Amino acid sequence: MRYKLAGKALLALLVALVAWEGILEVTTIRTTGFQQHPELGRILNPGLYVNGQEGYGITKIYAEGAIAQPFPDPNETAAARKAEYRILFLGDSYTEALQVGDQVKFFRQVQTRMPELDSRKVMTYDAGRSSASPAHYAYLADFYKKRVDMDAVVIQINENDLKDLYGENTSYYAKKDGDSYKLVFNEDFISRNAVAAKLQALYGLLRLSVVRVGSDHMQKLLEKDDAAAEETKGSDFTPQAGDAELVKWIFGILKEQYPQLVFVFLPQIDFQSPEDEQQPGYFEELAERTAKEQGIPMLNMRQDFVKAYQDTGLPAYGFSNTTYGTGHMNSSGHDLVSKAVANYFEGR
């Protein structure tokens, strides 16, 4: 009798877990899992990615980590290629934009706003990836030039991207090499999720939404108690003597590698403070100065975001299920970025 009751209890638990898994996949999180690509490193598997933890977005992931739209057909004809003006978008999780739907993502809106350029059909491609930094884009330039064969490149950067150049806890980073630097591909990188990194054997279980949600909560608890995690946060970053040299070096490489390069800078903004009290970030000023010196166009979204907030009261960052003014871009932010990028290309 005891075993029979235990069996029924176990069956009820399994049924509840299956039901809860289905609910979480639709409302909270459904990840496609990851694969280790020989050239791209760790990328999302193809499939539908559902994110309801911050905003709400259903994102179609294609082969080679392409977001919302597949990369060009590798067997296309020369005539088909000639008829298109291709813009590749590179960036971190703000470009990956799992928090909003595919049609809202700024790369897709640019294609909608600007269907033609130079008498050719505009096609935009999103290669955004969480935790990416300029080191990623520099290291992968040859791959993207061969695979996408783009006419122009838009690279989204922010304050933390440039700090992450130093971070070895990622797939790619920059390392001091004598009087210069070198790019490093970290083949051993698994995840920035502390639970996954420390319990590698359980990493595959993160595809289960129930496990993923629990892991995310545990990650937050670890960050609260782990002094090392606190030190990696942007507010605790200490400027270093070689920062300007490193930014100059990586910008120079990106300019050399990518045709018709333009930067989009997403600033950190305290929307509650008066505009005259706002101070540009450390790397924001460094990026603006370096881009100007090297002749790289940079669209800093600070004024656009502040003005839109003054006009509408809606910050470019944050969602109703998180905190407005913080986190990733909402639909308003994506609208503003897409307008700025389209205006740049149409007015160049």
Residues 6+ apart with CB under 8 A from 24: 30, 209, 210, 213
pLDDT for 57-87, tens place per residue? Answer: 999 999 999 999 999 999 999 999 999 999 9
pLDDT for 328-340, tens place per residue? Answer: 999 999 999 999 9
Q: How far apart are CA 155 and CA 7, in angstroms?
A: 56
Q: How far apart are CA 324 and CA 310, in angstroms?
A: 14
pLDDT score recorded for residue 2: 57
**3-state DSSP of 26-83:** HHCEECCCEEEECCCEEEECCEEEEECCCCCEEEEECHHHCECCCCCCCCCCHHHHHC
What are the structure tokens assigned to 268, written together? 């950190």
pLDDT classification of 108: cutoffs 50, 70, 90: very high
Q: How far apart are CA 315 and CA 253, in angstroms?
A: 34
Please give the average per-residue pLDDT across 198-204, as a whole number.
Answer: 50
pLDDT greater than 70 at residue 34: yes
Sketch out the chain's domains with CATH numbers. 78-347 (3.40.50.1110)
Closest C-alpha among 153, 113, 346, 104 to residue 264: 153
Fill in the amino acid letter for 171: S
pLDDT classification of 209: cutoffs 50, 70, 90: very low
Please give the average per-residue pLDDT across 117-137, as a whole number.
Answer: 95
CB-neighbour burial class of residue 295 (10 A; exposed 0-12, middle 13-18, buried 19+): exposed
Q: How many residues does the chain have?
A: 348
| Local structure of 167: helix, strand or coil | coil
Please give the average per-residue pLDDT across 156-182, as a whole number.
Answer: 85
pLDDT for 251-301, tens place per residue? Answer: 999 999 998 999 999 999 998 887 767 889 999 999 999 999 999 999 999
More confident: 56 or 201: 56
Please give the average per-residue pLDDT across 79-101, as a whole number.
Answer: 97
Least confident of 15-19, 183-187, 256-260: 15-19
Q: How far apart are CA 239 and CA 317, in angstroms?
A: 26
pLDDT greater than 50 at residue 217: no
pLDDT greater than 60 at residue 194: no
Neighbours of 119 (CB within 10 A): 7
pLDDT greater than 60 at residue 56: yes
Average pLDDT of the chain, as a whole number: 83
What are the structure tokens assigned to 326, written together? 């913080």
pLDDT for 232-251, tens place per residue? Answer: 444 556 888 789 999 999 99
Please give the average per-residue pLDDT across 104-132, as a whole number.
Answer: 97
Q: How far apart are CA 283 and CA 288, in angstroms?
A: 8
More confident: 16 or 266: 266
Least confident of 19-23, 36-40, 121-125: 19-23
pLDDT score recorded for residue 3: 55
pLDDT for 136-157, tens place per residue? Answer: 999 999 999 999 999 999 999 9
Q: What is the pTM of this model?
A: 0.82
Q: How far apart are CA 187 and CA 176, in angstroms?
A: 19
pLDDT score recorded for residue 226: 35
What are the structure tokens assigned to 52, written together? 């309801």
pLDDT greater than 80 at residue 317: yes
pLDDT classification of 165: cutoffs 50, 70, 90: confident
More confident: 252 or 212: 252
DSSP strand E in 5-45: where? 29-30, 34-37, 41-44
